[in-house]
Chain A
Amino acid sequence: MQQESLKEQQDNAITGEMDGEISFSWIERDDDDLSRRGTMYCFKSCSVNQN
């Protein structure tokens, strides 16, 4: 019953969206960029730390 109701809502949403706006959302991960040096970029493979 609940599923039918959801489907009905979504079908209505489709009809409405044909003329108006289509909205969507997602979850995005945001990492602090602690690992990137502020200066010359050099890939991790080039690890000039050895001094």
Chain B
Amino acid sequence: MSQLIKRSASVSASDRFFFPPSLKSILVEGRVVYLSPTTGNWLVIEPEDQPLLDRLVAGEKIGTLAASLGATDDLVRLKRLLAQITARQFALTDRVPVPSSDTSVKGAYFYLTNACNLLCSHCYMFSGKAEARELSANEWIKVLDEFVAEGGTSITFSGGEVLAKKGWLRVLEHAHRVGVSSTVLTNGTLWDADLVASAAPYIAEVQVSLDGPTETTNARTRGPGAFQKAIRTAQLFSAAGVRTSIAMTPTPETLDIFEQGFKEFFEEEIAGTGINVRISHKLLPGRSVSALAGQEKLHYQETARKLADQIYPSSRIRSFTLEHRPNELHLNCGYGGASISATGDVYPCNRIGDVRAVGNVREQDLKGLFPLLAQAEQATNVDEIAPCKWCDLRYICGGGCRIDDYYLQSSGSESVSFRDAAAIRGSVRKDICPEEYRRSLLKLMVELTEYQFSLDE
């Protein structure tokens, strides 16, 4: 849902704005992106507005500036600037804005089991059979308490299939009791109305996987008979007031048939239910799929984008807008957040097959492992990794997926992957960030401003 809201504000003529330091002007397709690298914030202005903005940045009182303007048009331009500065909280009249940043360590992934009733062709966890020596429900509850004691506030429960874990509901109940916000990722095929009613009060969010808009397409990835069950589960959760998403991942086999019946699926099963559909824009290596590269990767991205736009117009800019609140720094991709495997190994990323574990909860409590996760987060923050640490856009970009895009290299040694070594400060790098990517990010920043704000003239 999207709505347009009229907002108004005023400043005193004796006010001046306090701007963050080190501001930069960058010309982007005829407009000026006025960037604050330290707060990850920006304005988009017309080149002719730059002198007015420069005077505000120099500390001139707003009333003095207004009084010096000869033409009415100039006042309109000043008000346009004031509106954008205020809306983006780019500068404040009593102090310099202080940015906020999310931290990975408050959230965790709990892979409750590797058991699953499905054998999806793209499964990055290669789930199916439970592993030997998986943690029991009681052990999970103990780990959960340790996580909360360390300041953890939210957990994503995944698997395998969460419902294939004996005692799963008890773990969710406990999480709710100790104030954790729970997200459950599920294939949706093992739920019925009673189970949904039992679990819904403990769950903040459910994500049901569905990999095609029809039984035929979905069956190619997830096997026959899963389609209707998964939709029904999502609808039951949404009706029970739980925030509900359906996550769809095309594979190379289904990519070019995904569009068949896609709009009908959305209109008949999703529209009006409150369910949000997410479409993967990247394929991870899994049971019988490989990561894509080159033209195949681009084709996948473009197809996913087109699908998303069919059901949510402007989906890309909308997502970008939602992810970029004013003065919110993107320091990391989430690396450093605890992901705990079914057997208790603790990893700094939820792609646990692609990273090295920092320890196991049976051998060490989370309190002892958290400093290692915090180090992993610190070492992979955009302030530490190359070439991001030199880039003015780093807090807006966040650096992207550490595992896919970066490697580890200590001085004089050969490069290794995140699977073979722990990330330490100064060791994380990639060779090139293409200028084309930076320009596309700047273009998105302009589009966000146009999408989100307009002057009330």
List A residues 1-37 near B (Cβ within 8 Å). Answer: 7, 10-11, 13-14, 17-37
Contact B322 A35 (CB under 8 A): yes
Q: Say how far B395's CB is from chain A's closest CB, in angstroms.
A: 13
Provided the pairs A26-B453, A40-B334 are in contact, do residues A31 and B318 lie with their beta carbons within 8 angstroms? yes
- The CA of A43 and the CA of B332, in the complex, are separated in Å by 9
Q: Say how far B335's CB is from chain A's closest CB, in angstroms.
A: 9
List B residues 235-286 near A (Cβ within 8 Å). Answer: 243, 245, 247-249, 276, 278, 280-284, 286
Contact B13 A32 (CB under 8 A): no
- Tell me, yes or no, whether B11 is within 8 Å of chain A by CB: yes
List B residues 107-155 near A (Cβ within 8 Å). Answer: 107-109, 116, 120, 122-125, 127, 154-155
Q: Which residue in B84, B127, B181, B209 is a CB contact (below 8 Å) of A49?
A: B209
Contact B75 A10 (CB under 8 A): yes
Contact B185 A51 (CB under 8 A): yes
- Binary A-proximity of B1-31 (CB < 8 A = 1, otherwise 0): 1111111111111000000000000000000
Contact A36 B107 (CB under 8 A): no
- The CA of A14 and the CA of B66, in the complex, are separated in Å by 7
Provided the pairs A35-B319, A50-B122 are in contact, do residues A26 and B83 lie with their beta carbons within 8 angstroms? yes
Chain A residue contacts of B204, Cβ below 8 A:
38
- Tell me, yes or no, whether B69 is within 8 Å of chain A by CB: yes
Number of interface residues of B (CB under 8 A): 87
- Tell me, yes or no, whether B87 is within 8 Å of chain A by CB: yes
- The CA of A45 and the CA of B181, in the complex, are separated in Å by 23
- Tell me, yes or no, whether B398 is within 8 Å of chain A by CB: yes
Residues of chain A having any CB pair with chain B under 8 Å: 7, 10-11, 13-14, 17-51
Residues of chain B having any CB pair with chain A under 8 Å: 1-13, 62-63, 66-67, 69, 72, 75-76, 79-80, 82-84, 86-87, 102, 104, 107-109, 116, 120, 122-125, 127, 154-156, 158-160, 181, 183, 185, 187, 204-205, 207, 209, 243, 245, 247-249, 276, 278, 280-284, 286, 318-319, 321-323, 330, 333-334, 337, 350-351, 398, 400-401, 451-456
10 pairs of residues in contact across A and B, judged by CB atoms under 8 Å:
A17-B75, A22-B63, A24-B8, A41-B107, A41-B334, A43-B401, A44-B323, A47-B281, A49-B248, A51-B127
